[in-house]
A and B are shown apart, each in its own frame.
Chain A
Amino acid sequence: MTTPQRGSSNPGLLERLGSLDRRWIFLSMGLSIALPILLQLRFPEVPGPMARATFDAIEAVPEGSRVLISFDYDPASAAELQPMANAMVHHCASKGHRIVFMALWPLGKQMADQTIDQVLLNFHPDLEYGTDYVQLGYQAGNEGVVKLMATNIPEQYKTDTSGTKLADLPLVGDLRNTSDFKLVASLSAGNPGAKEWVQYADSADKEAFTLVSGSTGVQVSQLLPYYPAQLEGMLVAVKGAAEYEMLVEEKYPVSKDAERIGQGRVRMGPQLVAHMLMIGLIVLGNLAMISGRARGGAQ
């Protein structure tokens, strides 16, 4: 057995940390996400300007207006976007807007169905299909769908998801194009999504409707150049959802299943701890590098 001596090449604690087995990192990350969920950690949020702009944009639309919500995401992004969808649908319904649902992503239709069941009909059971809301579903074509809807919706959507002709549904019977909506919202996880709504629908008739979006954190860079000129409101990732939820719940509280309109705030707990862990890991990694360099220089 040898005893470490001054000036030996045995690595110090920090350098050993530099070669930390990544399974420890995985375990730490797992715990930092699981514990806040299990302990139901919640932190207060202060609504930022983007969440407030989104809330105000929906509020500014006259009561009873026809609005379009496009579900441009799938279950992979539901953790970020579903809380926004829940709060936005509840907000629109509470304000008395009549909602048309659609999707540019194949599984977006299922996300919209889920929101209709769990939020719209749960909190607003008196709403009637065809008059107060309609589900148009998914159509293949990506930006082609948006572009065609900008000029001729009946050409793009002949029927709703149940096969009923649009002409037989009071809410959409007289729809001509996207200019017939007062508000369009895209809950977007990528391409096609909010960017296509800006480029093809908003540009076709800038004054006709208000365009807002909710996007994942990774997509926000693409959308920032359009805020606030084209996108009058923008919700960014879970934080945006949490801030928007606060505004919605403050004005339109729900008496049951309040957690449906609080999913964003629930997810901010794990996000806080996970982000702090990331910062800690980056600092540790850099300290290990500096320590290794110092030792190398000394030798």
Chain B
Amino acid sequence: MMQRTIPIAILSLSGVILILAYFSPLTTSWGETVLNWFNVLAAVAFVLGAGNILRVNLEKISSQRPGWAYAAITLVSFFAMLAFGLFKLGAVPNAKYPDIHFAGDYETTASPYGWMYEYVLSPLTATMFALLAFYVASAAFRAFRAKNTESILLLGTAFIILIAQTAAGMFLTAWIPDDSAFAFLRFDSMRAAITQHIQTAGMRAITIGIALGVVATSLRLILGIDKNYLSSR
């Protein structure tokens, strides 16, 4: 009973306080306290996330599931970054406090943590993102087919945006004067029309829909009607 009542009470109270804080300056400081709790919880979520990485990968290694070597590499990298960052191993001593180890700068590339960030983590994450270009090109070639009216519209829009997002878009239709009756055929005009009218209109509709959904869900949570986020036990 208490396992469910206390979380619901905390949630309802926090929700009501945040709503009140938005409308009444008298309750602003209450809202700030709740937000502080929220931020602390968000920081704790990092610890939970790290614990989950540890659990999942250790399970994979212990059961020798396919790809367990990758799990081992993940854990070694995880612990290396954690140790170098947390204990500031190899940190460059602080000029003002050279005897205090923890005053040292561990984010410079002269320290192991900074070096690994700059020359391992940063290029790896950028590479992972860059790989998308190759897969998008391959997928576009195989799947982007003008099979019906909807796909023809999508294809036409994609062509206009792809060209307009480069210098080619400007120069292919730059000969059409800005003030002529055919100015709408310029790639930059077509892109502006698509993004500012069609795309924005669609996105506004989606945003309003999401906002209404969030309001409804929040009210259900605050009033204790929706309890799905709690454990079923």
Contact = CB atoms under 8 A, between A and B. Distances in A.
Interface in A243-289: 268, 271-272, 274-279, 281-282, 284-286, 289
Interface string A149-178: 001100110000000000000000000000
A78 B141 contact: no
A75 B122 contact: yes
B203 interface: yes
B128 A29 contact: no
Interface string B26-61: 001001100110110011011000000000000000
Contacts of B45: 140
A274 B140 CA distance: 12
B133 interface: yes
B228 to A, nearest CB: 22
A282 B133 contact: no
Contacts of B107: 110, 113
Contacts of B196: 224
A33 B133 contact: yes
B98 to A, nearest CB: 16
Given A151-B32, A225-B200, A271-B166, A25 B136 contact: no
A141 B126 contact: no
Interface residues of B, number: 52
A217 B136 CA distance: 14
Contact of B141 (A49, A77, A285): A285
A39 B62 CA distance: 50
B67 to A, nearest CB: 22
Contacts of A237: 165
A281 B130 contact: no
B160 to A, nearest CB: 10
Interface string B122-137: 1101101110011011
Interface string B101-112: 000000100000
Interface residues of A, number: 58
Contact of A141 (B42, B121, B123, B159): B42
A74 B196 CA distance: 28
Interface in A1-48: 20, 22, 25-26, 28-30, 33, 43-46, 48
A281 B137 contact: yes
A32 to B, nearest CB: 9
Interface stretch (B4-12, B70-78, B142-150, B215-223): B142-150
A285 B43 contact: no
Contacts of B170: 45-46
Contacts of B166: 43, 239, 268, 271-272, 275-276
A59 to B, nearest CB: 23
Given A76-B126, A239-B165, A25 B200 contact: no
Contacts of B155: 282, 286
A155 B36 contact: yes
A91 B40 CA distance: 35
Interface in A211-250: 217, 220-222, 224-225, 237, 239
Interface of B: 28, 31-32, 35-36, 38-39, 42-43, 45-46, 107, 117, 121-123, 125-126, 128-130, 133-134, 136-138, 140-142, 144-147, 155, 158-159, 162-163, 165-168, 170, 188, 192, 195-196, 199-200, 203-204, 207
13 contacts: A33-B133, A43-B167, A74-B125, A78-B126, A110-B107, A141-B35, A152-B28, A152-B32, A239-B165, A272-B167, A277-B137, A281-B140, A285-B145
Interface of A: 20, 22, 25-26, 28-30, 33, 43-46, 48-49, 74-79, 107, 110, 113, 139-142, 144-145, 147-148, 151-152, 155-156, 217, 220-222, 224-225, 237, 239, 268, 271-272, 274-279, 281-282, 284-286, 289
Ranked nearest first, the 10 interchain pairs of A and B with the lowest CB-CB distance are A141-B39, A43-B167, A140-B43, A272-B166, A75-B122, A76-B129, A281-B141, A144-B38, A76-B125, A148-B35
